[in-house]
Amino acid sequence: MSKISKTKLDALRGEIDEFDRQLLAVLESRLALAASVAASKGDAPHFRPGREAMILNQLAAESSLDAGLIEGIWRQILSASLTRQSRLRLVMCAGDSDLMPMIRWRFGLGADVKAVASHEDVLESLRAGAGDLAILPHWDKAPWQVEWMRLLRGTTRVWLASVAPFFTNMGADAGADVGIVPIALFTTAPPDVSDFDWTLIWQDGRYVEQQGRHLQAPQAVGVFQKAPISDIKA
């Protein structure tokens, strides 16, 4: 390597180092703002998947970067913000160990995850207050053995609130580009509203996806956010 090319390389590396310092400063400012927002929420739910879907879609629409890359970066930022607001207790089935990479990707390495015996126990733990979020495989990947008519009744019921990832196709090759299995997230609070809402309904012994928000349907399992096809970049 010539002396001139090494000088240029050192200069470029210096520019990268400066950008890294700027990015770190901006990230610290963003997390501080998120903490201020959390303080103003009071008892309102801190987990806002609809809001997150709106953020991710807007960022992807304004960038030439791959949408999956954007989501991967912002998931860590959003997870860090959420952890500062409250440390969520996650519940999953012990037999779903293949979901752990996606759970870590979605909620960060410090996520507090409890394992129980069955999918039914996962949702019952949530309903009993033993967890903040329940995690199951995506319904296209592993049909859940649960009694929906019981879980969808009463003053404390479970709601499908989100799926992850947002920008990965949930078909036969779901997760292929990131090597992880998609997950479905449940809460005891009705999911917040977004422009990308789809409703999952338990109908005639199968799961039916209906575009829009239809929580009034008697067998509505809940709402998840699906990115528009035009937003899913290769």
Q: Are residues 193 and 219 in the same domain?
A: yes
Number of domains in the chain: 2
Based on the domain organization, do 70 and 13 belong to the same domain?
Answer: no
Give the residues across from 198 on adjacent strands. 211, 224
Of 88-97, 112-121, 176-185, minimum mean pLDDT range:
176-185
- Do 52 and 28 belong to one domain? no
Residues 204-216 have pLDDT tens digits of: 888 999 999 999 9
Pairwise CA distance, residues 97 & 94, whole Å: 6
- Asked whether residue 67 falls in the same domain as residue 119, the answer is yes
Query: How confident is the model at residue 234, as a pLDDT?
Result: 44
Order the strands of the 159-164 sheet from edge to edge: 112-116, 89-93, 133-137, 183-187, 159-164, 220-225, 197-203, 206-211
- pLDDT tens for 170-188 read 444 444 454 568 999 999 9
> Kindly report the CA angle at 84 between 91 and 232, in degrees rounded to 5?
70
SS (H, E, C) 108-137: CCCCEEEEECCHHHHHHHHHCCCCCEEEEE
> Domain limits at 30?
1-42
- What CATH number did the domain enclosing 138 receive? 3.40.190.10
* pTM recorded for the entire structure: 0.85
Same domain? For 62 and 137 the reply is yes
